[in-house]
Chain A
């Protein structure tokens, strides 16, 4: 029996490991390296109603234990994503979570309606947290009322469950989570990147052409864990956790904080085989920690559990 299979709204997954949006494109490149059917799910690159070129380069900069990116939601647009990318992904036995973005409400609604009808899209991830676009994106993710209304509108048209991707760039993450829960969200994904900056020593200018960018990688893991810990105790929605995950141990830590599944982003750039590696290592780690199934780990940091003494011995 598998110790990794999980069930979340819209998602029956063979394991809880999936590449995070924007760090895996639409899977084509990684499919040359390993069988994508091995993954629990795939979160595809943000999709907007029209094609977007994104920001000027440089779009990435390295930081201590992390990186900044300001891609600017580059994607081929809704029609191409549905007809070419999603159609191509159908050959794999893996559910797709479609990351939906836009600069105004109508865009989100249009994308959600069409993309949720695709055969292999089992859930939407509403991206109200992209820090790298001038309009939309994070603007929807920092005002609770706006986030709630958008969630509601998207829920009305979506044919699959809607997960809302929260931004860490807020003072009260619980308030945001509650707002989208009230808007009808089926789940949460968190966290998106933290807004940051790096400057060039010689020129004094920002390294990124966009000046600021989103910080990801191991540097943000403690922030994500804290936020998931807070939110999971206040909101009853399942959480897909992300931020700096690069090992099976990290996955368990996210579960302890309150996650029910996890996504791996930046680590794919450093080790392109990281997702299958984690999937292979998890069962052994769970066993050594005394668990029969990974779901036993969700929220252990705050749940009262009788078996604690036994497991700790």
Chain B
């Protein structure tokens, strides 16, 4: 169920250039059912900024009623969020949307988790849950440059982890797709979150495979009421049928919607 709650900041850490890891405490953690869901944050009272910001859930610790997010402080809202300190509160609406289906793979299967930039965070909770299920996970994480890389070690503990950077300062130079080609990786399922061009490349390359993609779109309400975040469906790409990224997604099966 969706809840609105003033959550308490437990910790805020800078973990890479402009990248922050924020831990919040709140009862709504117990409503979080799937990795890949997101929350809608009001980062300050008043109008600066006015709208909520959608941020993915990166890790859940139900025992402590904690959850983590990882975000890039870039614009007005996320910079404000990065100024929050332990003990401060954040107005959280969530959990929102449908996440990655973890029961689409079984014990012993291999899952490929492909993330780009600030699309990497939701893959962490996903990976943890898959590992718990006995699924073999392989991570391919793409970043702009070495100083933007985060969670390499944490992912490595869960499974094989490969890094690609656009400038070649760490790992393979180029895109995540270069890594997959280079390693000739085989897998039973692919989960991905990141920039649209990356999702498009993965979708067209693995048409015959089971692929789940998490999308990003500018949002108003975040709950499905305003039609801000709508995309066409794959079986009716020019027509009237639609899906809302916030409430039908943000995770869709490849082909379900037009990227």
Contacts and interface: CB of A to CB of B under 8 A. Distances in A.
A61 B219 CA distance: 9
B153 to A, nearest CB: 32
Given A51-B240, A65-B50, A58 B218 contact: yes
A53 B218 contact: no
Interface stretch (A21-29, A117-125, A141-149, A156-164): A21-29
Given A53-B240, A57-B218, A62 B229 contact: no
A270 B51 contact: yes
Contact of A53 (B4, B52, B239): B239
Contacts of A60: 218-220, 226, 228
Contacts of B242: 53, 74
Given A269-B220, A271-B4, A62 B49 contact: yes
Contacts of A271: 4
B225 A57 contact: no
Interface in B200-259: 217-232, 239-240, 242, 247
A54 B244 CA distance: 13
Which interface class (under 10, 10 to 19, 20 to 34, 35 or more) fits B?
Answer: 20 to 34
A32 interface: yes
Interface in A204-239: 217-218
Interface in A16-49: 22-25, 28-30, 32-33, 45
Nearest to A57: B217
Nearest to B229: A57
B227 A59 contact: yes
A3 interface: no
A218 B220 contact: no
Contacts of A24: 225
A64 interface: yes
A273 interface: yes
Interface string B46-64: 0111111000000000000
B223 A64 contact: no
Interface string B162-191: 000000000000000000000000000000
B2 A32 contact: yes
A279 B246 CA distance: 28
Contact of B227 (A74, A217, A270): A74
Contacts of A270: 42, 50-52
A25 B227 contact: yes
A269 B221 contact: yes
Interface string A220-264: 000000000000000000000000000000000000000000000
Given A29-B247, A270-B42, A66 B224 contact: no
B225 A25 contact: yes
A273 B1 CA distance: 15
B238 to A, nearest CB: 9
B3 to A, nearest CB: 9
Nearest to B222: A269
Given A53-B239, A269-B221, 4 more contacts: A53-B232, A64-B47, A74-B242, A272-B223
Which 7 residue pairs across A and B have the least CB separation, nearest first?
Answer: A25-B225, A51-B240, A65-B47, A58-B218, A60-B228, A29-B224, A29-B225
26 contacts: A22-B226, A22-B227, A25-B227, A32-B2, A51-B240, A53-B230, A53-B232, A54-B230, A57-B218, A57-B229, A57-B231, A60-B228, A62-B49, A64-B47, A65-B50, A67-B50, A67-B220, A76-B240, A218-B47, A269-B52, A269-B222, A270-B50, A270-B51, A270-B52, A272-B93, A273-B4
Interface of B: 1-2, 4, 42, 47-52, 93, 217-232, 239-240, 242, 247
